Amino acid sequence: MLKYCLKKVGQLAIVMLLISFFSFAIIDLAPGDISSMYLTEDMTEEEKQIVIEKLGLDKSMGEQYLSWAAEALQGNFGVSLSYKTPVMPMLLKRLPSTILLMGTSLVVSLVLSIPLGLIAGYKKNTWIDNAISGFAYIGMSIPSFYFGMLLIILFTAKLHILPSSGMHTVGVDTPLDTFIHMIMPVLTMALGTMASKIRYVRANTIGQLSEEYVLAAKAKGTTPAEILRKHVLKNTLLPIITIIGMNLASLVCGSFIIESVFGWPGVGSFAMEAIGKRDYPVIMAYVMLSGFILVVGNFVADILYSFADPRIKRGIDVANGK
C-alpha cells in the first residue's frame, strides 16, 4: 500500500514538474522578445540593461527556469503585464466564484446522474433505458459551449427569464440573484460531466444486479426499490470517487470555456482574457494553478478509492507479493 502511494506521489511530482516546464516555456516560446514588453522608448541603454538583468534575461534558460521555479514555489508568479499588479492575488480573488460554480455543478451532476444511471441499469433495454442512454450520448457529444448558447437562446433571447451573463445584476447583491445567474452555467457544466457518470453507474448496476447477493435479497422478499437503494447503490457508489477525480479535468477546463460563454467572473474567464491580451505571467500562473488542482484531485481520488474499497488495496498488496 505504501509502495502504491509512493509510486503515485512520484508520478504526481513528475507531472507537476512537466507542467511547470511547460508553463515556463510559454514565455520562451512566445513570439517576440519578452524584454520588449518591459522596455520603453525613453529608457537609456544603461536602464535597459538594468531591466534585462533584473528580469534575468541575460542568464541561461536553465538558470532562468530554476529562479522562476523557486519564486513559483513561494506563490510568486510575477506581475501581470496588463494590470501591472502581482498575478497570484488577482487569481486567488477570482478563485471562490470558480469553485462555487464547479462545486455546484459537481453536486448537481451527481444528484442527477446516479439515480438516472441506477434506473437505466435496472430497466435495462427498455424504452426508459434507451431514453436515458440516449440522453447520456447527447451529453457526451454536445460541445459544452454550444449547449450553453442554446440555453441562452431559449431562456434569455426567447423567454426572457434568466440573465445571460455575469454573477450579479448591477447594484444587486443577494444570494437569490447569484442563484439565478448560476442556473445556466451550472446546468451546462453538469451536463458535460453527467454523461460519463450515467454510463458508468448503469454498467455497474447491470453488473451488480447479476450478483448473488441480489438474488438472496430478492429471495428474502426485498422490494426492487430497496435492493437498488440499500444494496446496489452502495456498491456502485465506490467507483464514483475515481470518476469524480476524472471529472475534475473536465470541470477545470469546462470552467475555462463556460465562464467565457456566460461571462462568469472566475479564474477561467480571467485566463481567457489574459490569453487574448497575451498576458504571459497570468497564463503561466493559471496553468500552474489548474494543473495543480487537477493533479492533486486525481491523486486524492486514487488514494481515497483504494482506502474505500479494500479489494483494490488487497489487489495492490497481492501484486506486490504480500
Partner 1 sequence: MENKIVIHENSFQRMEKKPKELGTVYHRSLWKDIVNEIKSNPVAVFAVIFLIIIIIAALLAPLSPYDPNKLDLANKFAAPSSEHFFGCDAYGRDYFTRALYGGRVSLLVGFCAMLVTVFIGTTIGIFSGYIGGKLDMLLMRFTDIFLALPSMLLMIVLNTILKPGMVTLILVLSLFSWASVARITRAETMSLKERDFVIASKNLGAGSVLIAVKHILPNILGPVIVAASLGVASAILTESSLSFLGLGISIPHASWGSMLQEAQTYILDKPLLAVYPGLLILLTVLSFNILGDVLRSALEPKIVK
Q: Applying CB under 8 A, which residues contact partner 1?
A: 11, 14-15, 18-19, 22-23, 26, 29-31, 137-138, 140-146, 149-150, 152-153, 156-158, 164, 249-250, 252-253, 256-257, 260-261, 272, 275-276, 278, 283, 287, 290-291, 294-295, 298
* Shortest Cβ 244–partner 1 spacing (Å): 16
Distance CA 29, CA 6 (A): 34
The tally of CA atoms less than 13 A away on the side-chain side of residue 166 is 9
15 within 8 A of 59, measured Cβ to Cβ: no
Distance CA 292, CA 31 (A): 26
Question: Among residues 211 and 223, whose Cβ is nearest to partner 1?
Answer: 211
Question: Among residues 42 and 127, whose Cβ is nearest to partner 1?
Answer: 127
Distance CA 246, CA 302 (A): 10
Specify the residue for cell string 434568466: 162
* Shortest Cβ 284–partner 1 spacing (Å): 9
**Closest by alpha carbon to 13, among 222, 296, 235, 307?**
296
The cell numbers describing 71, all together, are 519564486
* Shortest Cβ 40–partner 1 spacing (Å): 25
Question: Among residues 51 and 316, whose Cβ is nearest to partner 1?
Answer: 316
**Closest by alpha carbon to 275, among 30, 20, 71?**
30
Question: Among residues 158 and 220, whose Cβ is nearest to partner 1?
Answer: 158
How many CB atoms lie under 10 A from the CB of residue 241?
Answer: 18
**Closest by alpha carbon to 247, among 203, 182, 200, 284?**
200
Question: Among residues 5 and 51, whose Cβ is nearest to partner 1?
Answer: 5
* Shortest Cβ 319–partner 1 spacing (Å): 15
Question: Among residues 119 and 206, whose Cβ is nearest to partner 1?
Answer: 206
Question: Among residues 129 and 309, whose Cβ is nearest to partner 1?
Answer: 129
* Shortest Cβ 308–partner 1 spacing (Å): 21
* Shortest Cβ 149–partner 1 spacing (Å): 5
* Shortest Cβ 291–partner 1 spacing (Å): 6
77 within 8 A of 284, measured Cβ to Cβ: yes
Q: What are the residues facing 164 on neighbouring strands?
A: none
